[in-house]
Structures are given as C-alpha cells and as structure tokens.
Structure 1
C-alpha cells in the first residue's frame, strides 16, 4: 500500500462523494434509477404539499432559464397555462428525465431528488453505501484536530441522508459541514475560494479528495491541495493526469504527522 503524506498546512479535508466516499455504481445503479422509476408516483402522492410545489416552481424557473439560453428543453408551463393535472405532472416527469439523461447538476433537479431520496431512506427502501475505509480514516483525521467537509453536486439534504442512513451506520457526526451547487459548480475555481472563506481558513489549508480531474483542476487553480481518488469503476486517468496528480485508492493511504507515515 502506497502512503501519501498530507501536506503540513492542511487542517481541513474536503470530500467528494461519488467515486470517493461512495461507489459510482451506487449512484448510477441505485439512486438515479430510483428517481426515474418513482418520480411520477412521488409527484402524485406529494403534489399538494408546499414542498413539492416549491420543487416544481424551481424546475419551472430552471426550464425558463434553459429556454432563454437556447437549450432544446422540455418546457414547463406556468401555473396560468397549465392544463389537466395529469398532463402537468407528466411535463414535470419529462423535464426531470430529460435533465437526468444529460447528467445535469442543476439545483432544481437536485432539490427534488433529495426530497425523493429522503422518503426512500426513511422508509428503508434505500441505504447509503460507503467504502469501509472512509469512516475509520475520518475519525483519525478528526482526532488529530482536523475538520472534515463534504462538497457534492447532490443537495446538502441528499448528502446528509446518504451518511445518516449508511451501511456503516449514522456517520453525520463525522462532518463539520456540507456544500453543494448553491456554493457554485465544482469545476469552477471560485467555488473553492468561497468554501475556504465559509469555513474560515486559507485555501492552502484544505485538501480536496475527488475522482474527477476537472474538479481537481479547478480546486488546484484556486490554491487548494488536491489528491485524486482511484476506485474501482472510476474513470481511468490519462497518462498526463497520472503524472500530474497525487493519487490514492483508499483513505487509509493518507498519513498525518500526528499518527505517522
């Protein structure tokens, strides 16, 4: 097992989820298919709730923005233009499935998904899958005085559900905070500067762990320390990427001076 020393200035760990703490297969083969299969039934059951109506409102606003930007989008009619309820709900379903087919990361989509997953986790239909090396490593980092945060395209609520109802038990107490696309897109350098400002440290005090090199590049450009996580099923790195980025295949490969290398 190769050991990677954590840079001496690091006092905060920032973690991606998909492909980093959680297998890509869980997201692609469990979480997303659950949405695709159940979105229509969920809308029927929750349509009259304030939360669901807020979700639909956000999806409608996103559709309007997409249309203005020239996207060939499934338009959601305004409340005044809505026809029969069943057709209105089907329009929402079509928009959600269209966004998912393009793997979009819009806040409106992630918000609805998070609310659907909450229902599924609470009822026992879903359980978050976490790599077995994750929790033990985080506990060591925290014991050494470091803080640990999550930064994912999934909504903060969806993040908390995954770690609360995980295969390793309730892990929420291990994290000092959560960030999602409301902070900014993960491929934009400014997002990482904002995170540093929010948690009250310099960018060079952060170590970002992700499997996505576009995210790693953005964080690096902001001055954040970066390591790329290589897990089974993750996108294979190019020769150039392997030469440029430090890599780990398990959190257990990270060594802090507090507990040796």
Structure 2
C-alpha cells in the first residue's frame, strides 16, 4: 500500500490526505467492480479457470496528482478452481490473499476514452444511467434467448436410428463379452450390484423378462448368463433405468475407444453449438443415457469432438425425464435466477410438458425419423437448431 501523502488542494478543492482519501473515493471502489467484471467476463468466455494471474486498472482522478494516483490490482492466485474442465460448475476456494485488492500509487496517465473504457462499456459496468428503456426487460418479461440451453440427444441432436440401430445392438451383442472380460473390476462389480437391485425390484413387480440372478458365490458363467438375459430384455423394452444405462455406457466406451463406434449428430448441431458458444450461452445435455455415454457420444462424432462447446451433463440420477421435479433439480443446479433462463430442446412432448411445468422455456425438435407429436401440443417446433 502507498504511504499517505500530505493534504493538498487542487483547483481550490481540498483533497485531504491524498492517497488514503483516494482509496475511499467512488472511483477506486468502481474500479474494484470493474476488475471483478473483467474476471467474471474472462471466466464466462472460458479464457481462464480462476485468477492465476492478475488484472490491474489505473484509477483516474483529476484532483489527485499523478504521483499519488492509484493502480488497483486483483491478487494473483486469489481464486482457484478444483477442475480444469471449462465451464463446469466448480467448487472454488480462496487463496491466502482471500478477496483483497491491492492499491498502489503510480505515475501513469489514464485517458477518458480508450480500450479500458470501451470494455467497461461492453460489460455494462458503471453504465446504468446510459441503458435505454428499450434495452431493459420489464419485470416478468421472458429473455428472448435464455442464458442456458439444455439438449436432449435421441431425436434432438442425434438421429433415433443411430441409437436404435447402432448403439443398442452394439450393447446387446457385446454385453456377455464385456462382463466376462471385466468381471472382477470394481467398475463392473458396481454395475452388477445396480443390476441385482433393479432385477430384484422387477421380480417383485412382475416385470416381463426379469429372471433371478444367482448369488455372488455362484459360478461366474451362471451369473453372467442371468445378467445377459435381463439386460437383453431391458434393451428390448427400451427401459430408461440407471442400472442399464450405466452398463451400456461402459460397453460403449470400449466401442468408441476401439474406433468401432462413431456418433452421428445432425448437420446443424455443430454450427448451432459454435454460435451459442460465441454468444456466451452455456449448453448442457440431459439424456436418459449415462453421463459417461453422453461424453462418449459428443467426444466422438462425425464432426469431431464437440465437448468443447458443452458445460455439463445430466442423466437419470437427477430424475426421470418425464417428471417435473427433474427439471427443477436442473434449474437449481445451474445457478440461473429463474427457470425461464433455461431453454430445453427435446423431441418428446411428455418431456416438454414436464420441463414447462418447472418453468423452463421449451422448444420441440422435429427430426427425420421422430415419432408423431400430439395434436395441439402447444409448443414451438423447429427442424434445425439454427432456427432457435
């Protein structure tokens, strides 16, 4: 911190103790807000994942002589993030600098117009008086483009045929081989526990296709045979259950890593993702497939790795896609001010209704091969993401 300077007067105005007085002035405080805005802007643009470096801004005041004018700096390492993946919701922690700002007196000029002022204007910092009435949204008015976009996969980003004619058959054909080769791994043992629990529940409810699974002390081949029979019945019934989706994700992982599988997305999907990314919109996936399966699909598409445009993944662990509570959970996870800040795109009217009941904005995706929609469903429809 700069040492306090004697009181002085410029242009007939007494400034008091220049350095200390300047610290308390509105200009210094506004500059701290400006730096915070820069940090937030850089983070949202995915240029940084924390404040590993430092930002400095000159505080300009015509009544303070240059030798006593201040440079306000954010502390280096003031904030770090626990994950290196861009745009995911992270837990942050403060460094020893905590939230302090450093202020030093420097003999530097600060023009009233220039790149800092232009960026300040673009960030909307200190510009409240210049915002036109037209630019303001009246209370309750819907944002013309919500802050976040949540996408379904099957029939929305990806043809239904890819799921039903490629992914499902691959999992069904390889479930026995996968279980045999990975049987003793912790991952597969966890999958088997989930399947045991699900099958026991299915047997109690009389679900068609469910067969008892021998105990752990039975022969490995007997256990695997029962698991295969149950998994095949689940796939045939297209059941949206976590036990099945977790196992399928691990089977598909082998296929994608071995280049046996390549995911298909519609031609407009990468263009829309790039556009939304450029606009600073955060995009998430919500699918009945496991989060692992979702990452595999978007990491291995016919347009390459699209995960750089995605901020996170939701699966049935947040709830069934046709239940309103699932979309409430997603809203509460994304940190937006209101549900209408989220746009959900799906091809299923029941999912659209559940999301709408939670307050989300909803658009239905109409793609080749999708099933018919109910008459008078009441939702906007698009044939391409570029229409959004």
- TM-score, normalised to structure 1, is 0.90
Residue 272 of structure 2 corresponds to residue 137 of structure 1: yes
2:101 matched residue in structure 1: none
- Higher-Rg member (1/2): 2
Q: CA deviation at 1:9?
A: 5.8
- Structure 2 residue 158 is matched with structure 1 residue 22: yes
Give yes or no for contact 2:347–2:365 (8 Å, CA) kept in 1.
Answer: yes
> Would you say the 8 A contact 1:128–1:166 is kept in 2?
yes
3-state SS, counterpart of residue 153 of structure 2: coil
Is residue 250 of structure 1 aligned with residue 384 of structure 2? yes
CA RMSD of aligned residues (A): 1.3
Q: Deviations over 1:201-249 (max 9, x none)?
A: 12111110000001001001111110100000001123222xx110000
| Matched residues, number | 245
Secondary structure in structure 2 of the residue aligned to 1:150: strand
Aligned to 2:376, what secondary structure does the other structure show?
helix
1:7 Cα deviation (Å)? Answer: 4.8
In the alignment, the residues of structure 1 paired with residue 215 and residue 273 of structure 2 have an alpha-carbon distance, to the nearest angstrom, of 46
Aligned pair partner of 1:192 in 327, 337, 340: 327
Query: How do 1:1-261 and structure 2 match up within 5 A?
Result: 7-8=143-144, 10-72=146-208, 73-80=210-217, 82=218, 84-201=219-336, 202-241=338-377, 244-254=378-388
- SS of the residue aligned with 1:182? helix
Higher normalized contact order (CA 8 Å, seq sep 6+, divided by chain length): 1
As a proportion of its length, which structure holds more helix? 1
Q: Which residue of 1 aligns with 2:91?
A: none
Cα drift, residue 70 of structure 1: 3.9
2: CA distance, partners of 1:189 / 1:48: 38
**Secondary structure at 1:226's aligned position in 2?**
strand
In structure 1, what is the Cα distance between the partners aligned to 2:364 and 2:165?
A: 23
Partner of 2:65: none
Could you tell me whether the CA contact under 8 Å between 1:60 and 1:77 is conserved in 2? no
Instruction: Give 5+ residue unaligned stretches, structure 1.
Output: 1-5, 255-261
- SS of alignment partner, residue 316 of structure 2: coil
Indicate the SS of the match to 1:71.
coil
Q: Is the partner of 1:98 in helix, strand or coil?
A: helix
Q: What TM-score results when the alignment is normalised by the length of structure 2?
A: 0.61
Bigger mean CA offset, 143-152 vs 154-163: 143-152
Which ranges in structure 2 are unaligned for 5 or more consecutive residues? 1-141
In 2, Cα distance between equivalents of 1:18 and 1:181 = 14
Q: Matches of 1:103 and 1:136 in 2, distance apart?
A: 30
